[in-house]
Amino acid sequence: MILDAFSLQGRVAIITGSGRGIGKGIALAFAEAGADIVCAGRTLSAIEATAAEARGFGHKTMAIACDVTDSQQVETMVARTIQELGRIDILV
What is the pLDDT at residue 46?
98
User: What percent of the chain is modeled with pLDDT above 70?
Assistant: 96
In sequence order, what DSSP letters do the residues of 42-59 get, joined into one string? Answer: S-HHHHHHHHHHHHTTSS
What is the pLDDT at residue 35?
97
What is the pLDDT at residue 47?
98
Cβ(68)–Cβ(47) under 8 Å?
no
Question: Stretch 31-44: mean pLDDT, rounded?
Answer: 96
The model's pTM is: 0.91
Residue 90, CB half-sphere, CA atoms under 13 Å: how many?
20
- Indicate if the pLDDT at residue 66 is higher than 60: yes
pLDDT in tens, 43-59: 999 999 999 999 999 99
- Indicate if the pLDDT at residue 3 is higher than 70: no
CA 81: distance to chain centroid?
10
SS3 at position 65? strand
What is the pLDDT at residue 2?
61
